[in-house]
Amino acid sequence: MTEQSPNIHRKIIHIDMDAFYASVEQRDFPEYKGKPLVVGGLPEGRGGVVATASYEARKFGIRSAMSSKKALQLCPHALFVRPRFNVYREVSQHIREIFSRYTDLIEPLSLDEAFLDVTNDKQGIGSAIDIAKLIKQAIKDELQLTASAGVSINKFVAKIASDINKPDGLKFIGPSSIENFMEQLPVEKFFGVGKVTAQKMKQMGLHTGADLKKLEESELTRHFGKVGKFYYQIVRGIDNREVQPHRETKSLGAEDTFAYDLTTLEEMEAELDKIAVTVHNRLLKYELKGRTITLKVKYHDFKQITRNQSFQSPVNDLETISNTAKQLMAATGVDDVKVRLLGISLSNFGEIAIKQRDDKELGPGDQLELEL
């Protein structure tokens, strides 16, 4: 078999299930169909967070990582259900089996999304668009669920494409249209661009990919650090990352750079609570528990420190993550400091995170819709 020419474009599909956990619940419980359904923590008591919401609930502005109490305020007649991760895992395994009919190059990102490289598909179909259609139809016929697909020549563009025509969408962005597509893309849609970076870009007059494209690589790296090189390449449609079937997650976390420096412990703890919610949600989505919690602090002078605490057993509950991060923060000494960035991550992963601990904790429904 001859080696593939480097000039031959890869055929990459990104499959993303539509409101996966909520859709499974609506499939299994007919009384939920057509109603605003929130899967996640219940709003009673201390409340929890929204993991995912049905499309009916999203019309009221309910989004993932939002507090359940806030979701209830936005839609008082919303239905709230708890997760059944054992069911979601079974459905995910069936979806994975459908993928494997066409390729072994499958990179799962979570239970509900994956990259597929179908450059040399098993069935000799040749067309990535046709394969995406067949996968979507099989998911619909065999599981009574819908998925959206993005098709392109690299992972970055395929992932963005899958979100364009949701739900039950299919979007192809071919080689000849990639640069034009990237030029029109708002900067906040670029990987690695959070709200603070997006704000900085807009202050510099950079609103779209076309604006970024005007800058030299050296200018982008000077303003944005090493990720500037990535911006320079991706706005030109260059993303050489391979689909990795055996990718192993080493750590998972979230961080936030603030529009103004934090100067009090109260401010820092409030931000850590928010970051902990995001980390907790991501751990649920990727079914992970970690034995080590790490706090990252960057000061106004760009000095950076990390502090961590390890546990005998893996954890992923919100209270432990939040309280540990705040304890580590207080121990750093917060008198006369100015903090511009805080981050929390978990590592040293052990057993699969969401196991059936207690029937009381797991009932019908939960999920997280988070970008990577």
Annotated binding site: 16, 112
Phi-psi region of 259 (alpha: psi -120 to 50; beta: other; left: phi over 0): alpha
Contact 43, 49 (CB under 8 A): no
Q: What is the DSSP letter of 66?
A: S
Neighbours of 59 (CB within 10 A): 12
Contact 135, 100 (CB under 8 A): no
Q: Which two three-digit tokens encode residue 132?
A: 């995406």
Neighbours of 175 (CB within 10 A): 12
Q: Which two three-digit tokens encode residue 324?
A: 């540990």
- The strand pairing partners of 254, in sequence order, are 344
* Beta sheet of 106-110, edge-to-edge order: 106-110, 113-117, 12-17, 147-152, 170-172
Q: Which two three-digit tokens encode residue 97?
A: 């089996």
Pairing of strands 304-315, 50-53: unpaired
Instruction: Measure the CA–CA gap between 340 and 342, rounded to whole angstroms.
Output: 7
Spot the catalytic one: 25, 56, 107, 113: 113
Q: Is 347 exposed, middle or buried (0-12, 13-18, 19+ CB in 10 A)?
A: middle
Buried b (16+ CB within 10 A) or exposed e, 256-285: bebeeebeeeebbbebbeebbbbbbbbbbb
113 is catalytic: yes
Count how many Cα atoms sit within 13 Å of the Cα of residue 9 in the half-sphere of its side chain: 19
Phi, psi of 237 (to 5 degrees): 80, 20
Known binding-site residue numbers for Mg(2+): 16, 112
Q: Which two three-digit tokens encode residue 345?
A: 């991550």
Place of tokens 């007059």: 205
CA distances, 83 to each of 2, 70, 74, 326, 332 (Å): 48, 19, 21, 28, 37
Active site residues: 113
